[in-house]
Amino acid sequence: MATEKKYAVVSGGSRGIGRAIALQLAKDLNYNILLTYYSQEEAAKKVCKDIEDFGLQANALQIDVSQRDTTRKALNQWQTENSSAVIEVLVNNAGIRNDGLFVWQKDEAWDSVLATNLNGFYNLTQALLEPMLKAKFGRIINIVSLSGEKGNAGQVNYSAAKAGVIGATKALAQEIAKRKVTVNAVAPGFIKTDMTKNLNEKELKKSIPANRFGTPEEVANLVSFLASEKANYITGQVIHINGGIYS
């Protein structure tokens, strides 16, 4: 029988916070990485190369996590082709924004944001949960947002989606804690990524007690801790990493 290879799955792992998380899980916890990406193939390949430089294995799957059937098919095919792989960690990081005032919001803006951010959580987690329960060990870490806790004007769709994931985090944690699978959410504030590059950082940082935007690596360090055995007794929590913004 082939030696088991422990993997972490990071959705939206080609850049930004997802990229930092994939690298940190490999570096800190020696996880092989399966990352998903939507369109950034070259960036995804670069992340895989960086992880392989650690002496680990990395694979990239092009998946639209909002599409249930194709997501399940891709994961099942990968698992068949990598029969020795044991997925212990799932980081639901893939997400999109399509901001605008609710009164003028187009149906597509609502549907696409809910489909990727909320249905994406369901599609990946449902596909990967059962083996974790059977193994009696697993980590599910959902990247949510300050918007999902306090709401944000112009982001009714995004806030609704992330609030849904927060509720699912708390409920699922209660269902499966006895099987030693933890479920937590990490809620970043303003982090320097492609998603925030068009924001007025100089003005916005005035509202942040730490007086700066955070880095993807700071979020990744928190995720790495939650994925480790040091966090065995932490589940059902929403942990904020936002420089002190009241949430």
CATH code for 5-241? 3.40.50.720
Which residue type sits at 236? G
| Global confidence as pTM | 0.96
Strands (E), 38-150: 58-62, 85-92, 138-143
Q: Rounded to an integer, what distance in angstroms lies between the CA atom of residue 70 and that of residue 59? A: 17
Q: Rounded to an integer, what distance in angstroms lies between the CA atom of residue 83 and that of residue 7? A: 12
Report, as ranges of residue numbers, the positions in the chain whose pLDDT lies below 50. 1
Q: What is the pLDDT of residues 160-169, one digit of tens each?
A: 999 999 999 9
The DSSP secondary-structure symbol of 10 reads E
Residues 7, 158, 233, 246: which is the catalytic one?
158
Nearest 5°: the CA angle 87, 91, 94 is 125
Cβ distance 131 to 140 under 8 Å? no
Tokens 């992880």 label which residue? 51
Tokens 């029969």 label which residue? 83
Per-residue pLDDT, 202 = 87
Per-residue pLDDT, 184 = 98
Nearest 5°: the CA angle 147, 69, 12 is 40
Per-residue pLDDT, 2 = 61
Per-residue pLDDT, 195 = 75
Per-residue pLDDT, 78 = 97
List Cα–Cα distances, 38 to 28, 41, 63, 142, 195, in angstroms: 26, 8, 6, 18, 15
Task: Tell me, yes or no, if 233 is annotated catalytic.
Answer: no
